[in-house]
Amino acid sequence: MIYNEDFETLPREVLETLQVRRLQQVLQRAYHTVGFYKKTFDKAGIRPDDIKSLADIGRVPFTTKQDIVDNYPFGLFAVPMSNIVRLHASSGMKGRATVVGYTKRDIETWSELMTRCFVAAGLTKNDIILNAFSYGLFTGGLGVHYGAEKLGASVIPTSGGNTKRQLMILQDFGPTAICCTPSYALTLAAQGREMGVDLKALKLRVGIFGGEPWSDKIRQAIEDAFGIKALDLYGMTEVMGPGVSIECIEGRKGMHVFEDHFIVEMVHPETGAILPPGEQGELVFTTLTKEAFPLIRYRTRDLSRFIIEPCRCGRSHIRIDRIKGRSDDAISIRGVNVFPAQIESVLTGIKELEPKYRLIVDRAGTMDTLEIQVEVNEKIFSDSGEVRVLQNIERRIAKDMKDYLGISAKIKLVEPNSLPLAEGKTAQVLDKRQI
């Protein structure tokens, strides 16, 4: 099902014509109302009228997180405060938070895009949606909430945390869909099992998860635990919040970006050069319709690639592959750069393990050290009366890390459900070197 068929299935040429028109408008607006953009465009020697086609966008300067931080809190707003009806801020997991504003129309657009997401996930007004994304400055809670209401579904705004109560509501209110971070879905599953809840007997059909990186192995674990279909939802505070992009239930491979509202580019994370279709790189977004906080060529640092094959759902909007991590997430261990996602993909190749791990980076003298703590599954844990079984698995992981990633790591297998449970986003890396 498609919510806004007119726009979501536009033939590529028509879509691109619309994008160019909207791009020219947003460049004009940004240039004339936000001092920062006037300065950067002038410095690069370009004027908004110079941009005549999509190909010209490469001439426009990038905007970075640092630029937003430098203009903290409201320096990049393009409308007076009297037109702003809502403020949000990024979770600020790393460094200072970024603050964004929305006009009334921005909230309407955001709600529509979230509604499109729900319809892409196969939901209708007859669904009951439990929204366990945090309500507050984080965009997850309210962003998802408004979309669910616009759909006409019944929303249960549980917000994050309070896991036992969430499980009670899951049983008593019978939601048919759930929205939260993937790690919180695993937390709910673990806590539910401990309380003896029959998770498969719940009415849940679909789960919409996002806000942090996850993998197909985690998808499988969530789907198996609840007997649901799990879909990937992507977005970030600066660009809008959740609803920039989602997997459709028909394709379930890669997330459609709502291209009538955003231009998405794939660039080389170091050089910034635009990459040929299909190559992995960093996502760059330009908002086409936002009034309060237009954002031009924003470097997300998120790594992905375009899936260019058409999707069977009928949407013409391009898909991006699961986010592979962030280019600023790389941890340097004795000079070797590794991404948590790479470590995860080695771990998920080993069937005795659960998809729950934690990386602890430290320094012994002048040497960086990496400890990988990973949960073993129930079966191995109960069979592992013999220490040898665990030692063999540890040795195998250490060897795989060396062979595939070229890093030496100390491996520590831990009991199922012993790593800290997530309530919102999880921090999988603990870098003690910076503390």
Q: Compute the distance between CA of residue 342 and CA of residue 327 in angstroms, rounded to an integer.
A: 12
Q: Indicate the residue among 198 and 328 with the shorter CB distance to ligand DLL.
A: 328
C-beta atoms surrounding 263 within 10 Å: 21
Size of the site for ligand DLL (CB under 6 A): 22
- Draw the binding track, 284-313, toward ligand DLL (x: CB under 6 A; -: no contact): ----------------x-x-----------
Contact call for residue 139 and ligand DLL (CB under 6 A): yes
Residue 349, both tokens: 């190749």
Q: Indicate the residue among 140 and 416 with the shorter CB distance to ligand DLL.
A: 140
Contact call for residue 340 and ligand DLL (CB under 6 A): no
Q: Indicate the residue among 140 and 192 with the shorter CB distance to ligand DLL.
A: 140
Residue 219 Cβ, how far from ligand DLL at the closest point, in Å?
A: 11
Residue 337 Cβ, how far from ligand DLL at the closest point, in Å?
A: 18
Residue 111 Cβ, how far from ligand DLL at the closest point, in Å?
A: 14
Q: Indicate the residue among 135 and 371 with the shorter CB distance to ligand DLL.
A: 135
Contact call for residue 247 and ligand DLL (CB under 6 A): no
What is the footprint of ligand DLL within residues 194-213 (CB under 6 A)?
Answer: 210-213
Cis peptide before 213 (omega within 30 of 0): no
Among 57, 167, 233, 361, interactor with ligand DLL by CB under 6 A: 233
Tell me which DSSP letter residue 300 carries.
E
Tell me which DSSP letter residue 293 carries.
S
Q: Compute the distance between CA of residue 266 and CA of residue 303 in angstroms, rounded to an integer.
A: 9
Residue 339 Cβ, how far from ligand DLL at the closest point, in Å?
A: 12
CA-CA-CA-CA torsion sign (243, 247, 249, 251): positive
Residue type, 135: Y
Query: How far, rounded to the nearest angstrom, does the alpha carbon of residue 325 sit from its chain's CA centroid?
Result: 9
Contact call for residue 344 and ligand DLL (CB under 6 A): no
Q: Indicate the residue among 167 and 230 with the shorter CB distance to ligand DLL.
A: 230
Among 237, 286, 287, 426, interactor with ligand DLL by CB under 6 A: 237
Q: Where are any strands of DSSP class E within 113-170? A: 128-131, 154-156
Burial class of residue 125 in the structure, from the number of CB atoms within 10 Å of its CB (0-12 exposed, 13-18 middle, 19+ buried): exposed
Contact call for residue 323 and ligand DLL (CB under 6 A): yes
Q: How many CA atoms lie less than 13 Å away from 283 in the CB half-sphere? A: 30
Tell me which DSSP letter residue 341 carries.
H
Q: Indicate the residue among 192 and 211 with the shorter CB distance to ligand DLL.
A: 211
Contact call for residue 375 and ligand DLL (CB under 6 A): no
Q: Where are any strands of DSSP class E within 275-330? A: 281-287, 298-304, 306-307, 319-320, 325-326
- Given the rule CB under 6 A, which residues bind ligand DLL? 90-91, 133, 138-140, 210-213, 232-237, 241-242, 300, 302, 323, 326
